[in-house]
Amino acid sequence: MTAAGGEVEPGLYDIPAELYHSDPIPGGSLSSTGIRRLTDCPARFKHFRDHPEPYKPAYEFGTAAHTVVLGDGPELIVVDADLWNTKEVKAEVAAIRAAGNVPLKREAKQRIDDMATVLAAHPEASELFTPATGVAEQSAFWPDPRGVWRRVRFDWLRPDGITDYKTTTSVHPDALQKTVEKWAYHQQDGWYRETAIELGLIPPDGFFKFAFQEKQPPYLVQVVELDFPARVIGSETNDRAIHAYLTCMATGEWPAYGDTTTYISLPSWFERKYIEENT
């Protein structure tokens, strides 16, 4: 990842997920997750930067689904036991995780295989993930001219755009609108799209689409592309977060939400509801 002089070379790299998440950029870089944490609270960002999240088995289902759908990822190993609380099974599961693989109950593996079958039958999603059209799990690094290295890890990168696969509880449009807002996926859109364009990986009008899939039968699929206002808000929010990051780096101060009393109102919708019901 470096030139002869030891400097980082911007570009696209086929590297393990562990190396990407460890942040191989000297001095550090900003990921989509990092920029969203900065937007929430610089103090929270600094905590997770200094204390990386411990391994969470809860992420394994999503990781396994990505592996099956994208055809790239850790080995999935079925642990054929209904209960994982015996000493023997705990040891087996721990050994699988220690080797960098994902242990799954048979029911979970079957569910993931069924999800992949449903997604393969979805006309648009199946076309987006056609094997010959792109590559999975690629990492990109780009030096933003404002003085910050950006890093991204594409689920699926094609010459004409990017697709990000996400498992969820509901693909109803109303639910997805709330999901995008809750997890700030509009910021991820801008972070990935802009980095890919600057590196020449996709054209300026290249797309960024989410392929959402429910984790329970019938495993419904919905492809989503954010509209122009959402994308503008995402990019502008990222810009403010970069400014906050540079300020915090320069001052060494990583503020939380506030150091003095904050006055909190009830949500506006609750106030309207109260007035309607009591007047």
Burial class (CB in 10 A: 0-12, 13-18, 19+), 257: exposed
**Residue written as tokens 């003085």?**
147
Name the residue with higher pLDDT: 204 or 80.
204
CATH code at 11-278: 3.90.320.10
Would you call 17 helix, strand, or coil by DSSP?
A: helix
pLDDT-derived band at 82 (thresholds 50, 70, 90) equals confident
The neighbour count for residue 174, using CB atoms within 10 Å, is 8
Q: What is the pTM of this model?
A: 0.90
pLDDT the model gives residue 263 = 94
Average pLDDT, the chain: 93
pLDDT higher than threshold 50 for residue 3: no
As a whole number, mean pLDDT of residues 17-23 equals 91
Residue 125 makes CB contacts below 8 A (sequence gap 6+) with 119, 211, 213, 221, 223
Torsion angle defined by CA atoms of residues 129, 134, 139 and 145, in that order, rounded to the nearest 10 degrees: -110
Angle (CA) 159 160 162, round 5°: 90
